[in-house]
Structure formats: C-alpha cells, structure tokens
Amino acid sequence: MTITTRFAPSPTGRLHVGNIRTALHNWLLAKQAGGRFLLRIDDTDRERSREEFVAAIREDLAWLGLNPDGEERQSAHFDAYENAFGQLASAGRVYPCYETPQELELRRKVLLGRGLPPIYDRGALGLTAEERAQKQAAGEQPHWRFKLDHDSAIEWTDGIRGPQHFDPGQLSDPVIRRADGSWLYMLPSVVDDVAMGVTDVLRGEDHVSNTATQVQMFHALGAEPPHFAHEALLVGTEGKLSKRLGSMSVSDFREAGIEPEALVALLARLGTSDPVDPSLDAEALAASFDLARFGRAPARFDEAELERLNAAVVHQLPYADVAGRLPEGMGEDGWDAIRPNLSHVGEAGEWWQVVTGPVDAPRLDDDARAYLAQAAEVLAGQEWGGDPWHALTGALKEATGRKGKALFMPLRQALTGRDHGPDMAALLPLIGRDAALERLQRAASV
C-alpha cells in the first residue's frame, strides 16, 4: 500500500509556523516511505476563503521545497458531501437540531456549574415529527449533528500517542452542517480522505477529540479510517507560543532573511530527541523521519536557535544558489570571502561595501599613523602577487618587530574601517592594490 498523506490548510490567511510544521512532517512521512504528499485546499468557507491565499499557500510550500504530488479543492466536492450526508441520514446517523447558540451556551454553563462535562444532551432527538414540522413552518432552519454510536467504543493506535480509547457517551455529537447548509470541517474531511486515498493523517494533538468522532464517521460511511498520529503542539521559549510568533507567516520568515533550509532543519526535528543538523537537506531528513522518535512533551520553538541555524546554513550556501541575491559586481571570490561573517544573505551588501568603498578612515594615535605610513610605503614597493596580505604583513613584521594585534589591527582598521570582519587574506585581493594603498595613506594622515 502506498503511503499517502495530506496537508489541508484553509485559504483564509497566510501559513504560520504551526502550519509549516504540519506540512513538513506530512511531506517527510510520505517521502520516507516513498509515498505521496497531497495538498487539499479546505475552501468550504466561501465568505472567508480567498484566491490570493490559495496562491500564497502554493508559493510558500514551493519556497520550502515541499512540492505536493497532487492537489484537491473542497469547493469542487460539494456533491460528494451531499451524497455522504444522504447516506448517513438514511442510516439514521445524522439528525436536525434547533437550539440557538445562546441556548446551547446556557446548557453548557449549567452542566459546568454542576461539575458535569459539557456534553450535548441530545435534546433534539426528543422532538416529535410534528414539533420539527412546526419549527420548519415557522422558518427555523436546523443545524445537523452526527449521531455517535454509544454502544461502540472508539479505539485506534496512534502513531505517537499509542493506544487511544474513547467512550462515545462522553463526547458531544459533533455539528457537521450549519443551518444555512454550509459544512463544518468534520464530515468533508472524512469524505475527502476516503476519496483521495489518504492512508496516514498526522496533525496536532488538539485534534485528538476530532479524530475520535471521525473514526465513527469513517465506519458509518463503510470506510476504513487512516492511520492517525497526533504530535505535541509548538511552544515558545517561555512555555507557550507567543502571539507574535504564532502569527508569523512564511513571508515574515522570508522577509527576516531566514533561509528555507534553516526553517526546515529546525521544524523537522522539533518534538524529537534527534539533534538539529543544518547540513541535512530535506531528502536526508526524510530518510531519517520516524514517528516513533516523537515524544509527548511540547515541542519548543526557539527563535534564537533558528537564527543560529540560519547562519550555519548561510555559511554553507554555494555561490550559484545566491548569485541572484548578491550586490552587483560581487563574484564567487567575494561571496567566499564574506560568507563566514554573515547571519543572513541580505547582509552581504554591507560587507561588500568594505570592498568597494568608500570606508571611513579611523582616527588613530601617532604611533599607529606612523605604522600605517610605513605600511603604505612597503605596499607601494611590493609586487602585487596572489597573496598580498601575507606578503605585506610578513614584510612589516620583519621591518617593525610588531606581531599579533599590534601588527594586524591597524591594518584592518585602515583597510576596512572596522575592527573585525572577513579574513584579510581573502579580502585584500578583492579590495585591490590601488584602493588599499589609498586607504593606508589616508588613514596615516587623519
């Protein structure tokens, strides 16, 4: 059997960090088994769904390298939902309800006040055919609930949480259709999972109770439920996911200069005890993906760790992968020289300015200025070979007896305007003989 997973976002906004993790883990689960990863656009909410968000979802997945093997849209499946609804109605597994939201909330508060679970009491099942007819004649439109089978225990072996057991009598019959005829999430998702051949559903632990009711929906429709796994939710460094982080979209990460490889590397291992390795690409991560390695503890998302990973990824990026994002005139030698000092590719322009100039001449003491004047004379009298930095510093060390910081720091300050930065042996050939000589002379005269 081919493993088939799906990612099912609603196009009512941009993908955020929790969505990204769900999509990634479903992609990894499918690829690890040589299976299929499908994208399902859950656009049954016609008022809130927008095409611009559908396009953004596709773009975000492509940026992350999570290319689906197929795509479906729920808005194209309304006939299938009607057929399933009719099948359930014929079997007596759905029933109309007329309570208002206010009435349901009042009942809920009463139950909670008595220390009882706020379970729907199935009051609508007590209505006679005449009473239902009267309500319809009065213009009251019902919402519809799926009738759980209280005589059939709900059980499944969760891929992360292990054996799960639910007493259906302790669950509310879920609302599957609103009074205006529109669909809620539960039934359409089941219908589509069957039609799409989804074999494995990996999602957050906040869906566990949904799974319990959906298991019975699968059986009621004569279908075998997929394998379910529910992973721990993301939290931040302070124990809960901050509002800011929880709402950060893929576009926000991109604008912040985060590389997709860094985000994938971090999110792929969150929730497991496996080390985060920025050198592993998505294919390598998929090869090692194993639900058995996921724990029940909350998965901690650390923005500082993401930044460290991003720097590590940037330090590994070949020139060909970033050439279109670099300053004009910056070639492979420039990238190789500057790359170790970057946390984000977007910082390359700042460091390239050190090469192209101008740079601010530092204000140094008399001893340092005299040393730089001597350095300019030595450079002017030398051949400009393949390693001008070591030729210059070697000659100055012999001539002045300087070494260490006293030898190197004034030169770096004069040539770059900074106290630290890329390796000068790589940087000086990029600066060039004439510019280097001019900078040394200017710093010596300031």
pLDDT of res. 237: 75
Reduce the DSSP state of residue 90 to 3 states and report it: helix
Which residue stretches of the chain have pLDDT < 70? 239-247
Delineate the domains of the chain, giving CATH numbers in brackets.
Answer: 319-356 (no CATH), 366-445 (1.10.10.350)
pLDDT of res. 245: 66
Reduce the DSSP state of residue 50 to 3 states and report it: coil
- Number of C-beta neighbours around residue 197 at 10 A: 14
How many angstroms separate the CA atoms of 105 and 98, rounded? 14
Percent of the chain surpassing pLDDT 90: 89
pLDDT of res. 308: 96
- Number of C-beta neighbours around residue 125 at 10 A: 12
pLDDT of res. 243: 63
- DSSP assignment letter at 164: E
pLDDT of res. 280: 87
pLDDT of res. 239: 66
pLDDT of res. 242: 61
How many angstroms separate the CA atoms of 398 and 56, rounded? 62
CA-based radius of gyration for the chain: 32
Which residues touch 382 (CB under 8 Å, ≥6 apart)? 388, 391, 392, 395
- DSSP assignment letter at 142: P
pLDDT of res. 420: 93
pLDDT of res. 378: 97
- Label residues 288-311 b or e (16+ Cβ within 10 Å = b): ebebeebeeebbbbebeebbbbbb
